[in-house]
């Protein structure tokens, strides 16, 4: 059977800001909720028939392989379903979808899940940019090798400069993104794809208090009052004379 004839189920967790509702959640916690929802959306599918689960993961310890496998089994998948993680940086989740789709198309497997999990709040810092490196690499004559640890904010600045993308153009694009995202959320355009997640949130102002159980059912990084004028007032985030702002990075 051609891949185009096969059923596809789309489910996603939420994209939340650094101090948002998922600040205390574990990436494997979010993955488990997503995998459970995937099984629930396909009640006639025997979990034992799922051949493979591939998950994009960049920052987790051990590449997310151990915690991800545990989340897979905790979600109700059969132990015979294989599991792997893929690290292709920002496109890791997309890479897993491509990988399992190609495996299905070639007939290697019949049923698979391609997903991604990440928590920038828990796992950024030294896990994103290595602080201890082989000295020969650190001082390499190859500029491309040295640039591999350049923060993505500076990469964005360089791309904007190289291709002549002005601050005004970036602000206009960002404002339009937030306007469209706000409308989509209010209209419920993606409600069928979004998985509500119950998690525990800790009040940073009262660390001695027990966590509060909350239900998260929407992204919280959308600026519902976004405007071009407002975007123009934001300060550059990565270099003093730069053009990239934090709110634009959410687009």
* Among the ranges given (75-89, 99-113, 130-144, 175-189), the one the predictor scored with the smallest mean pLDDT: 130-144
Percent helix / strand / coil, the chain, rounded to 5: 45, 10, 45
Which are the contacts of 44, defined by CB distance < 8 A and separation ≥ 6?
A: none
CB-based contact 49:111 (threshold 8 Å): yes
Say whether pLDDT at 145 is over 90: yes
Tokens standing for 144? 């491309």
**Looking at residues 77-105, what average pLDDT do you find?**
96
Which are the contacts of 88, defined by CB distance < 8 A and separation ≥ 6?
A: 56, 94, 95
List, for residues 206-250, the tens digit of each pLDDT value.
888 899 999 999 888 899 999 999 999 999 999 999 999 987 666
* Predicted confidence band of residue 120 (pLDDT cuts 50, 70, 90): confident
Return mean pLDDT, the chain. 89
First-to-final CA distance of the chain: 37
Coil, strand or helix: which one is 56? Answer: strand
How many residues can be counted in the chain? 251
Q: Is 213 left (phi over 0), alpha (psi -120 to 50) or beta?
A: beta
Given the candidates 3.40.47.10, 3.40.50.720, 3.10.20.440, 3.40.50.10880, the CATH classification of the domain at 3-126 is: 3.40.47.10
Which are the contacts of 242, defined by CB distance < 8 A and separation ≥ 6?
A: 157, 236
> Where are the domains positioned within the chain?
3-126, 145-191+219-249
* Predicted confidence band of residue 14 (pLDDT cuts 50, 70, 90): low
Residue-level pLDDT at 207:
84
The number of CA neighbours under 13 Å toward the Cβ of 224 is: 8
61 or 14, higher pLDDT: 61
Say whether pLDDT at 33 is over 90: yes
Q: Cα dihedral sign for 97, 102, 105, 110?
A: negative
114 or 205, higher pLDDT: 114
Say whether pLDDT at 4 is over 60: no
CA distance 34 to 106: 26
pTM value is 0.85
């Amino acid at each position: 059977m051609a891949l185009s004839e096969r059923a596809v189920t789309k489910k996603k967790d939420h994209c939340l800001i650094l101090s948002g509702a998922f600040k205390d959640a574990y990436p494997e916690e979010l993955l488990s909720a997503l995998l459970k929802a995937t099984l629930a959306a396909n009640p006639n599918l025997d979990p034992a028939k799922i051949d493979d689960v591939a998950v994009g993961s960049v920052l987790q310890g051990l590449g997310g392989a151990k915690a991800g496998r545990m989340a897979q089994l905790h979600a109700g998948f059969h132990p015979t379903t294989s599991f792997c993680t893929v690290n292709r940086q920002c496109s890791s989740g997309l890479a897993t979808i491509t990988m399992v789709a190609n495996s299905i198309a070639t007939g290697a497997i019949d049923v698979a899940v391609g997903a991604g999990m990440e928590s920038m709040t828990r796992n950024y810092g030294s896990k994103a940019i290595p602080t201890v490196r082989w000295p020969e690499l650190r001082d390499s004559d190859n500029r491309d090798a040295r640039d591999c640890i350049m923060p993505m904010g500076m990469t964005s600045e360089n791309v904007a400069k190289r291709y002549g993308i002005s601050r005004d153009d970036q602000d206009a694009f960002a404002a339009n993104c937030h306007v469209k995202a706000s409308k989509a959320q209010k209209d419920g355009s993606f409600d069928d794809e979004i998985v509500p997640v119950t998690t525990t949130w800790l009040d940073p102002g009262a660390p001695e208090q027990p966590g509060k159980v909350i239900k998260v059912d929407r992204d919280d990084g959308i600026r519902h009052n976004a405007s071009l004028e407002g975007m123009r007032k934001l300060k550059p985030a990565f270099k003093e004379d730069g053009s990239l702002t934090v709110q634009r990075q959410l687009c």
